[in-house]
Amino acid sequence: MAAKAKVLLAEDDASLGFIMKDALEEDGYEVVHCPDGQTAIDRFNKNEFDICLLDIMMPNKDGYAVAKKIRQQTDVMPVLFLSTKNQEEDRLKGYDTGADDYISKPISQQVFLSKVNSLFRRLKKKENKIIEHNGLVIDPEKYIVSYEGKEHVLAKKEFELLHLLASKAGRVFLRNEILSQVWGNDVIVGDRTIDVHIRKIRQKLGLDCITTVKGVGYKFEM
């Protein structure tokens, strides 16, 4: 079964990082733990994450610097600050750098998971919005795709693939990103699986709306 969401966790306290990682994984998340800010930025640049959890006081770039870097590339991914710095000015600085939430340490595991799950629900609401591009309408709640008023029937994975690409039109998705987000890390599929599904999407819609970027991946364009 695919994970709920992929979490980037930046926490320099190894024991606390292990506790948080373990709690998140038990709750169904996939977690990448980074011990410092620069490592978090490097992992963010190389992978697709859904949620980011940042300690503020870290070596090799603090949480504020990591958040600024993330916000230069995405306004969608939720960012949660975790810190012992709990003065009003610290919180305001966190929100000013793009944080969606800010919680003070120490924090109970139950409250911590509740905060993360709240961010995840907000993320899913954003993902579930109807997407419209030049007459093409994609409704993720009803699994309906229509073009200029005519509905088209897509298989579940075809729909999820189209919705993923169309959710960020113009952005190039890498093959491994698509496999991870549509099929999940626990499912083994052939290398040609994506190509076959994209060909079927084009045929069913009668649209050449997905562009192949040779050697890189795919992007949605209308």
> What is the structure's pLDDT at 162?
94
Could you list the residue range(s) of the whole structural domain that residue 32 is in?
6-127
Q: pLDDT tens digits, residue range 82-112? A: 888 777 787 888 888 888 888 888 888 888 8
* 138 and 122 inside one domain: no
Structural domain contains residue 1? no
Residue 199 lies in a domain: yes
pTM for this model (two decimals): 0.59
CATH number at residue 148: 1.10.10.10
Report the relative pairing of strands 144-147 and 136-139 from DSSP bridges.
antiparallel
Backbone angles phi, psi at 197, to 5 degrees: -65, -40
The last residue of one of the domains, among 127, 161, 187, is: 127
Q: What is the pLDDT of residues 119-164, one digit of tens each?
A: 888 777 666 678 888 899 998 878 889 998 899 989 888 998 999 8
For residue 108, the one-letter residue type is S
Is 61 found in the same domain as 33?
A: yes
Please state, in angstroms and rounded to a whole number, the distance separating the CA atoms of residues 153 and 10. 42
Check pLDDT > 60 for residue 1: no
Q: Are residues 45 and 137 in the same domain?
A: no
Q: Are residues 37 and 86 in the same domain?
A: yes
Q: Provide mean pLDDT across the span 164-190.
A: 79
